[in-house]
Structure 1
């Protein structure tokens, strides 16, 4: 029984390898979600960002529904990756599961994208970080450019 429970937690958390175990244990958010809810939760669906949505019928009303974000970096969850149709279901605005309900966005709505704010190009949290030069070195003028007497 305990082995089945642990296997389900590891499968949902996609924990593979030693470094992944360290991140899994360090990340309290994912730890609590997976250890307390995931073994009992039923997978409802997955959105186009890769986020997985679960429902646990045995839990209290406001804690029945939860999401496991597709982002694997520790503490790098971005709630803006939840599309409007899943946001409505997740926050009890409606009870229609987007997998069974044909959601038609308004004509003026754009496709929901992840908001990429707070991480400039050279930020440590940016996965594509580079050593960006923040200055240009001063080069003294050559002696021939003075135009004066030597």
Structure 2
């Protein structure tokens, strides 16, 4: 089952084609705390005049899994990857979490259609029009 999953499911890791491209053109730069691996083009430049940078996700291909420090490097905001600099989080910064929309861990306020409970009524609550 593992081999079939690698051949047909591009969304849950890297396929054989991706592995070949990484072997041929990629240089490993680092790995984040979630297990995502980051690469840069070995030689030459991409279409924007800079070496290409890319990420291979550990699990699902969900871009919100990329932490802010690696996001900055991927999008050419900073030149040095987080593995080559000392990045210290501020005390007020929360740990990075991926977007939970569409998952069981998604935020559901009380009174939402899929959430439990009911919304409390307010004085300026909506009153629908009813024909008489």
Unaligned runs of 5+ in 2: 106-132
Q: How does 1:36-115 map to 2 (within 5 A)?
A: 36-58=21-43, 59-60=45-46, 61=49, 64-71=52-59, 76-115=60-99
Cross-structure match for 1:25: 7
Q: Which runs of 4+ in 1 moved over 4 A?
A: none
Greater shift, 80-89 or 54-63, is seen at 54-63
Larger relative contact order (C-alpha < 8 A, sep ≥ 6)?
A: 2
Distance 2:2 2:24 in 1: 19
Cross-structure match for 1:16: none
Give the drift of 1:38. 4.0
Local SS of the residue matching 1:39: helix
Cross-structure match for 1:140: none
Change (3 A) 1:117 1:63: farther
Unaligned runs of 5+ in 1: 1-18, 122-150
Local SS of the residue matching 1:110: coil
Give the drift of 1:34. 2.6
TM-score, with structure 2 as normaliser: 0.63
Cross-structure match for 1:13: none
Higher radius of gyration, 1 or 2? 1
Please give the root-mean-square deviation of Cα atoms over the aligned residues, in Å. Answer: 2.3
Are 2:105 and 1:117 equivalent residues in the alignment? no
- Larger helix share, 1 or 2: 1
